[in-house]
Chains A and B, each alone.
Chain A
Amino acid sequence: MPLSFPRWRFSPRPIAHYALVLSLILITALAWLAVAVLYDTAHLKEEVALSDEKLARQELDEAIVLLTEHAYRTAQAMMAWDEARQQLEDPIYYGYWRHSRALAAGVIPDTLAAVDLYDLNGHSLSTVSSKEASMPDSIRPQNIQPFMKREGEHGYVYYFFPFYRSPDQVHLLGYMGFKFDLQQELHQLRKFRYLDLSSVDIGVNEDRSVPLHELVSRLAFQTIANPETRALEKIISRSFYEIVAIIVLISLLAYLAIVSVITKPLRHLSSHIDDMRRGKGILNRPGFRGGHLV
């Protein structure tokens, strides 16, 4: 028994409909292409943002390394300073030295927020604790790792180093501590290409300290908009809108062309054939006197 397939019979449609369908297919294809371009652009943008964030974090890491080197150099300068050594040997006038000499003598950077000296047991040489430059009253000599602490709106990084009598590091005299204003030091230590320094949020509760090696992962920040990427994004968006406008224009022109060049003459021809069927004179219609149909 032979297979029989149903035969779909479409009633003939006006040619304008076919032209319209064709145009719609074309527009849909082009729209799909535009969406794909838009998607790729957004993906690229996301990737660039991720890369910028990674680079900004890298910058921050490098800045912390620079800060540590800076603190180490300050410690070396401090150890070579006769007056600091004098205080550890005889701290009777330590208060005067700390307030009038420590940061004003030009030996260690005056950008330091505070400095303090500690005896061999880790107790500050200050007999009275000072509120204005709050350094810890005591430290644990066996654990003098640097840390960051939030105080008000500022983050402060504390470094502690052993203080030796001479560079051979044989005779330990005590310890020294430095307090750096994190934002201020970052601003001075290097220029940032990706990190927006003003957006750095300490992200730590007041008076809680964070070990320095965990600091970068705790900081929240924004990246600086990359001008080249921004320019590229602008070009892609503009091109996209221009392409859409061109598609719309081309579709409109195609539609008008189909209507005026194909549909109208065919409609005339169809009317003429209908007239002939009805037995009317073939040459009565003015459009055919010249003999041109299309």
Chain B
Amino acid sequence: MKWIFRSLLATLIGMLASVTVSANASHIVDAQLPSGKVASAYFQAGKKDRPAVLVLHGFLQTRAFPTVVSVVEAVSTAGYTSLAPTLSLGITKRNKSLPCEAVHMHTMEEDAAELAFWVRWLVKKGYPSVILVGHSYGNLQLLTYLGRQPSPAVKQVLMISLTDVEKKQNAQQRSALAEDLRSRIAKGSRALVDAEMGHCNKYVSPPAALLSYVSISRESILGALAKSTVPTEVIMGSKDDRMGPDWIEKLISRGIVVRVIPGASHFFDNQYEFDLQESVLKSLQGAASKR
């Protein structure tokens, strides 16, 4: 009888302990950025012998975006430590996607600096190896970061649905817009500009901030990918309507490893969610075996 009571008590204590551990293992982290703004991230600790995976959301989105959540779930379940920050975009504790018509004062450089902050945060936390995973426009922020002396802890980059910036506006249109913005900046104008940018038909931003995004072109993306010292892999959906028909070929022609999931869209929704998870895990395991 005593023995049964003790085992029941032990089971209960064990259950309570496991709840506490799991509650500690995953939580929302708030951190003050060098700019003074407070940014937050979802953090889930995994096995210590595995690299930490930082998953970055797309343009104006948050870590709650379904594609990001799906990838974070997959890597966490596989035992990787995961960190999914929400870029502040100049707003303390931003927790919702930012509409195109809102005032966008953030710049690409600030986004990259925030990314660098979270990589440092992971390293300080005791993760010597970090893998960066981006979705859509978030990949351009990863590329910008990689172009500015990335931390040696970054061992691999995985880009999901790498954005083709010239899908909606061609190189000439973007170049003309960039020229107009430079001219406004030269005149000292800080008046808001309302322009077509990314998926937005009306993106409202001061000239300098807008220019930091508009100055990115297909060529600059391909050039940055080619120059990157960190091994990079791209995962694309064959039915992604946010890229030009030759975008995948262009990437492959520059020697970039591209995995194409047949039938998947830009967001890898429906049944393609599992194909994406499988593909991401394969890439992570491949990187681990190379190391």
Binding site for B on A (CB under 8 A): 80-83, 85-86, 89-90, 92-93, 96-97, 100-101, 105, 165-166
User: Once the chains bind, are B96 and A96 in contact (CB under 8 Å)?
Assistant: no
Of A86, A97, A100, A101, which contacts B90 at CB under 8 A? A86
User: Once the chains bind, are B93 and A83 in contact (CB under 8 Å)?
Assistant: no
What 0/1 readout, one digit per residue, does chain B (14-34) give for beta carbons within 8 Å of chain A? 000000000000000000000
Q: Which residue of B lies closest to A95 (CB)?
A: B192
User: Once the chains bind, are B101 and A100 in contact (CB under 8 Å)?
Assistant: yes
Distance between Cα atoms of A82 and B97 in the complex (Å): 9
What B residues does A105 contact at CB under 8 A? 99, 101-102
User: Once the chains bind, are B101 and A86 in contact (CB under 8 Å)?
Assistant: no
User: Once the chains bind, are A83 and B103 in contact (CB under 8 Å)?
Assistant: yes
What B residues does A92 contact at CB under 8 A? 105, 190
Q: Which residue of A lies closest to B98 (CB)?
A: A82
| A/B interface sample: 8 pairs, CB < 8 A | A82-B94, A83-B91, A83-B99, A85-B93, A93-B206, A96-B103, A165-B38, A166-B93
User: Once the chains bind, are A96 and B91 in contact (CB under 8 Å)?
Assistant: no
Q: Separation in Å of the A115 CB from the closest CB of chain B? A: 16
When A85-B93, A166-B93 are in contact, do A93 and B103 touch as well, CB less than 8 Å?
yes
User: Once the chains bind, are A165 and B93 in contact (CB under 8 Å)?
Assistant: yes
Distance between Cα atoms of A93 and B99 in the complex (Å): 16
When A93-B192, A101-B102 are in contact, do A85 and B91 touch as well, CB less than 8 Å?
yes
What A residues does B220 contact at CB under 8 A? none
- 17 new A-B pairs (CB below 8 Å) besides A93-B105, A101-B102? A82-B98, A83-B91, A83-B99, A83-B102, A83-B103, A85-B92, A86-B91, A86-B102, A86-B105, A90-B105, A93-B192, A96-B103, A96-B204, A97-B102, A100-B101, A165-B38, A165-B92
Q: Separation in Å of the A170 CB from the closest CB of chain B? A: 12
B129 interface residue (CB < 8 Å to A): no
Q: Separation in Å of the B219 CB from the closest CB of chain A? A: 32
Q: Separation in Å of the A83 CB from the closest CB of chain B? A: 5
Q: Which 7 pairs show the lowest CB-CB distances between chains A and B?
A: A86-B91, A93-B103, A82-B94, A82-B91, A83-B102, A82-B96, A96-B192
Q: For the complex, would chain A's binding face be called helix, strand, loop or mixed by DSSP majority?
A: helix
Distance between Cα atoms of A43 and B56 in the complex (Å): 77
B95 interface residue (CB < 8 Å to A): yes
Q: Separation in Å of the A105 CB from the closest CB of chain B? A: 7
What 0/1 readout, one digit per residue, does chain B (26-61) give for beta carbons within 8 Å of chain A? 000000000001100000000000000000000000
What B residues does A101 contact at CB under 8 A? 101-103
User: Once the chains bind, are A82 and B95 in contact (CB under 8 Å)?
Assistant: yes
What 0/1 readout, one digit per residue, does chain B (101-117) give for beta carbons within 8 Å of chain A? 11101000000000000
Distance between Cα atoms of A86 and B102 in the complex (Å): 10
What B residues does A82 contact at CB under 8 A? 91, 93-96, 98, 102
Distance between Cα atoms of A85 and B93 in the complex (Å): 9
When A82-B95, A82-B96 are in contact, do A90 and B90 touch as well, CB less than 8 Å?
yes
Q: Separation in Å of the B57 CB from the closest CB of chain A? A: 14
Distance between Cα atoms of A80 and B103 in the complex (Å): 17
User: Once the chains bind, are B103 and A89 in contact (CB under 8 Å)?
Assistant: no
What A residues does B103 contact at CB under 8 A? 83, 86, 93, 96-97, 101
Distance between Cα atoms of A92 and B37 in the complex (Å): 16
Q: Which residue of B lies closest to A104 (CB)?
A: B101
Q: Which residue of A lies closest to B99 (CB)?
A: A105
Task: Kindly name the residue among A86, A100, A165 whose own CB sees the greatest number of chain B CB atoms within 10 A.
Answer: A86
User: Once the chains bind, are A89 and B192 in contact (CB under 8 Å)?
Assistant: no
What B residues does A166 contact at CB under 8 A? 93
Q: Separation in Å of the B28 CB from the closest CB of chain A? A: 12
Distance between Cα atoms of A101 and B92 in the complex (Å): 19
Distance between Cα atoms of A100 and B105 in the complex (Å): 16
Distance between Cα atoms of A166 and B92 in the complex (Å): 10
Q: Separation in Å of the A107 CB from the closest CB of chain B? A: 9
Distance between Cα atoms of A90 and B93 in the complex (Å): 14
Q: Which residue of B lies closest to A84 (CB)?
A: B91
Distance between Cα atoms of A76 and B204 in the complex (Å): 26
Distance between Cα atoms of A93 and B209 in the complex (Å): 13
